[in-house]
Chains A and B, each alone.
Chain A
Amino acid sequence: MKKYIVKRILGIIPLLFVVSFLIFLFIHLVPGDPARLIAGKDADLQQINAIKHQLHLDEPLYKQYIDYMNNLFHGNLGESIKSKVPVSELIGERIVPSLELSLLSIAWAMVIGVLIGIISAIFKNRWPDNIGMITAVSGISLPNFWLGLVMIQIFSVKLGLLPTGGIETWKGYLMPSIALGAGIMAMIARFTRSSLVQTLKEDFIRTGRSRGYSGLTIVFGHALRSSLIPVVTVAGLQFGFLLGGSIVVETVFSFPGMGRLLINSIQMRDYPVVQAELMLFSFEFILVNLIVDLLYGFLNPKIRYD
C-alpha cells in the first residue's frame, strides 16, 4: 500500500513536466502579443518593442522556457505582466472563493444526487424513477449560463431575494453554486442509481433478502455502501474540474474566482498568470485523480494495489 502510494506520487513528477511544457507551448501558440495589448491603441512600434524588451518577450522561446522553469523550481511563479502583482498573490486571492464555491456546489449535488439516485433505484422503471431521472438529467441538460441569467431575473430582479452577483455575503454563493452543481447533481444521481441497481442484484443482497431483512435495511445497510464507490469517483473528478472555476458561470454572476482570472489573463495574454493557473489546474486534477484512486481502495478493500 505505502509502496503503491509512493510510486503513484513519484509518477506525478514526469507528468507535470510534460504538462508544463505543453502549457508553455500552447500559450505561445495562441496568437497575440502582450506588449501590444498592454500598450493600448495609441502606442507606436518603438514603444511596443520597449515593453517587449522589458518583459523579456524578445528573447528566444527556449530561453523563456528555461527562465520559466528555473523560476518555478525556486518556487517563484513570476508576476503579472500587466499589474506587476506577484502571480501567487493573484491566485491566492481567487482560489479561496473558488474553493468555497466548489465545496458548496459539490456538497449539495452529492446530497440531492444520492437521494434521487436511491429513490430511482428502489423504484426502478416506475414513476418515481422517471421523475427523479428527468429532474436529474435536466440538470445536465441546461446551458448553465442560461440557467444563471434566468435565475437572476427571478430571484434578484423579480423577488429581490438574492444579490445578482459578488460575494459580499454568503447569499452571493447560492445561485452560482446551483448553476455549477446542477450538472454534477445529475451525474451523481445517475451513477448512484445504476450502481445501486447493480448491487441490488448481487448475491449477498439476495441472501440478505432471503434472510428476511426489510428493503430499506438492505438498501441503507448494505447496498449503498458498495454503491458509493463510483459515486465518490465521479464527485472527486468533478470537484477537480470545479476548482478550475467556471469561466461562464463566473462571468454571469461577476464571481471573483479562478475562471474569470483565467479568461481575463488570456485576453491580456498575461503569460505568467495563465501559465501558473493552468499548471495549478493540472496539478489539482492529477492530485484529485490520485486521491480518488486511493479512496477506491479505502472504500472497497477488495481492490488490491500492486
Chain B
Amino acid sequence: MIRSKKIMGAFLIVLLALVLTACSTTRSSSDSGGAASSDKKDKDINIAVNQDFTTLDPHNVSDTLSISATHAIYEGLVGFDKDMKIQPVLATDYKISDDGLTYTFHLRKNVKFQDGSSFNAEAVKANFDRIQSSKDALIASHYLQYLKSVKIVDDHTIQLILNQPFSAMLNKLTMVEMISPKALKDQGDKIGMHPVGTGPFEFVKWNQGESLILKKNPNYWDKGYPKVDQITYKSVPENGSRVDMLKTGEADFIYPLPEQSVQALKTQNDITVDQTTSNIVRYVTLNTNKKPFNDKKVRQAMNYALDKNAYIKVVKSGFGSELDSTMAPSTQFYSKQKVYNYDLSKAKELMKEAGYAKGFTAEIWGDTDSATMKGMQFIQQQMARINIKLKIKAMEQGTLSDAINTPKSPDDAKVQMWYVSWSPSSGDADGATRGLFSSAAFPPNGSNTAYYKNGEVDKLIDKANQTTDVEKQKSMYATIQKDIYNDAPWLFLGVDTNLSAHVNKLKGVYVLPDGSIQVKEAELQ
C-alpha cells in the first residue's frame, strides 16, 4: 500500500513535468514572439540568413551579417548605393581639401535619432570621440587610423582633419555609423544590445540565436520610406532549411541562397532568384616563402593546371566568374589581367622546368564550411593531374586562425596552401590589397598568408594611398595588380555571384557586392 503511494508520487512527478511543458510551451508561443512574429501582418517581412548576429554595435562589428542589421538601424555620413558608389547619406554634401587632409561635411538638417534626440555636429563628434578614445579596442578605430581631429564648424558642419592623405577615407567612413549620443551615454558598452540610430528601422527585440526584429521608424527623414512595418531576421544555419523556408512561405527573402539549390527554385513560379555581382574573391594562397612554392614556375604551373570553368561548374554550380585579377571587378581601381588559361601540357612543362616533374605532396588548409570543403576537394582533384598530392586539412575557424597567426616569423609558418576568400568590406582598392600583399602584412600582423614580398608592390601600395590624384592611383593599382598576378602567389579561382531569392510579392531588398543585405527600399505588393 505504501509502495503504491510512492509510485503514484513518481508518476505525479512525471505528470507535473508534462503539465509544465504544456504550460510553458503555450506561454512562450504567446509572449516571446509578442506582437511580433507569431502573428505576421500584411506589411511584415521575414528574412532568413545563415548565421547568428553577433552584435548591433556599428563601431564594433566585423561580420557582414551583423553589418546588414546595423545598416538598417544606423546610417553614416556617407554610404554605398546599389553599385557600391559612395553617396552622401547623413551629410548632404562633402568637400575634400586639395592637400587631401581636410574633409568638410555639411550635415542633413531635421534628422532625429530614433530616441528623439537630434542629429547634429555635436552628435557626429561624440561618435568619432567614442571610437578614438577606445584606444584601438573598437573595430572601427581601424578605419580612423589616419584621423587626427574632428572640428565642429557650426551646428550642421563638421571637419575631419587627417594626419596624412588617405585615398580610401570616404570608403572607410561608410563603415562609421552614427549612434545617438544619448543612448551611448545611457547604455555604454551595452549599446550593441539596445541600438539607437537614425536609420529606416528601429530595434524591437533580439532573441539571440533565433531572430532579430526591427520595426518601421515612423519619423525617418527620407519621406516615403520605409514601406514595410516590420522585418524579422531569422538565423537558419542549415543551407537546405533556408531554401525550404522560402518554399513553405516561412521566409520572404533568403540569403545566401546555396548555388546548388538554384535549379530547384527555378521551377517555383512564385519565387524569384536574384544574382548580383559580388566583390568576394576565392583563391588559394601559396606560401611563397616555402619550398616548392618559392618557385614562381611551380605557382604558375599550378594556375595553368586549374580548370576554372570546371571550378565554376562543379564547385559553384555555374554561378560566378573566373578571377582575372587580384580583386573583383566591382572593387575600386580593378584592372583585368591576362588569365592563366587551363593548359595541362604547359603546366607539366613548367613543373618539369622547375624540377618537379614527379610532383610533390602538400597540405591544403581551410575552414569546415561545406562550401570550403567542396572547393578543397576540387583543388585536390585538379592538382593530382600534375602529380601534386594534396592532403586536405579542414579546421574549425578558431583553430585555423590560430594555426595561421601563431607563427611569429615567416620561417616558422606551417601553412602551405590556404583555401580562403576575401571581400574588402569598404569596397576600396587599399582594402583589397594592403592586407593581402604588403610585406608589412605577414601574419600575425595581417592576412598576407602567401608571404608575398615584392619591393615594388610594397612601395606602390604606400604611394597610392597618399596620392589624391585619382588617375595616378588608378595606374598605380593597375601596375600592382599586373605584377602580383604575374607572380602568382595565389591559385586564382573565381569571383562569387551573390545569390539570393525572394517571393515575388517582395520588392526592394537586395544584396550589395560585399554581401550585406539592404532593406531600406523593401516593399510588399
Q: Do chains A and B touch in the complex (CB under 8 A)?
A: yes
Once A30-B399, A32-B402, A103-B20 are accepted as A-B contacts, the answer to whether A46 and B207 lie under 8 Å apart by CB is no
A39 contacts B62, C-beta separation under 8 Å: yes
A53 is contacted by which of B6, B137, B245 (Cβ under 8 Å)?
B137
A264 contacts B18, C-beta separation under 8 Å: no
A298 contacts B62, C-beta separation under 8 Å: no
B209 contacts A261, C-beta separation under 8 Å: yes
Stretch at the interface among B81-89, B187-195, B270-278, B490-498: B187-195
B398 contacts A269, C-beta separation under 8 Å: yes
B208 is contacted by which of A47, A90, A107, A160 (Cβ under 8 Å)?
A90
Residues of A within 8 A of B381 (CB): none
Once A100-B21, A103-B17 are accepted as A-B contacts, the answer to whether A39 and B250 lie under 8 Å apart by CB is no
Residues of A within 8 A of B9 (CB): 298
Stretch at the interface among A8-16, A80-88, A210-218, A275-283: A80-88
Once A43-B139, A298-B10 are accepted as A-B contacts, the answer to whether A104 and B240 lie under 8 Å apart by CB is no
The verdict on A96 contacting chain B, using a C-beta distance below 8 Å, is: yes
A279 CB, min distance to chain B CBs, angstroms: 19
Interface of A, secondary structure class, is: helix
The number of residues on chain A lying at the interface, defined by a beta carbon within 8 Å of a beta carbon of chain B, is 72
A253–B17 Cα gap in the complex (Å)? 24
Within 8 A of B (CB), among A259-286: 260-261, 264, 266-269
The verdict on A156 contacting chain B, using a C-beta distance below 8 Å, is: yes
A37–B405 Cα gap in the complex (Å)? 11
A42 contacts B237, C-beta separation under 8 Å: no
B248 contacts A160, C-beta separation under 8 Å: yes
Residues of A within 8 A of B247 (CB): 157
A-B contact count (CB 8 A): 195
B208 contacts A254, C-beta separation under 8 Å: no
A32 contacts B63, C-beta separation under 8 Å: no
A31 contacts B14, C-beta separation under 8 Å: no
The verdict on B216 contacting chain A, using a C-beta distance below 8 Å, is: no
A164 contacts B245, C-beta separation under 8 Å: yes
A71–B197 Cα gap in the complex (Å)? 34
A261 is contacted by which of B136, B208, B244, B422 (Cβ under 8 Å)?
B208
A281–B407 Cα gap in the complex (Å)? 35
Q: Looking across the interface, which residue of chain A has its beta carbon closest to that of B48?
A: A254
A170 contacts B18, C-beta separation under 8 Å: no
A254 contacts B136, C-beta separation under 8 Å: no
Once A53-B137, A166-B211 are accepted as A-B contacts, the answer to whether A152 and B240 lie under 8 Å apart by CB is yes
A164 is contacted by which of B26, B37, B241, B431 (Cβ under 8 Å)?
B241
24 contacts between A and B (CB under 8 A): A36-B402, A41-B422, A41-B435, A42-B431, A43-B139, A44-B142, A44-B445, A49-B136, A50-B134, A82-B54, A83-B193, A156-B244, A156-B248, A157-B248, A164-B245, A165-B236, A167-B29, A168-B38, A170-B25, A254-B238, A260-B52, A260-B209, A267-B396, A298-B10
Known: A163-B248, A256-B207, A298-B10. 12 other contacts (CB 8 A): A41-B422, A41-B435, A41-B447, A42-B431, A103-B20, A165-B236, A170-B29, A225-B7, A251-B237, A254-B210, A261-B208, A261-B209
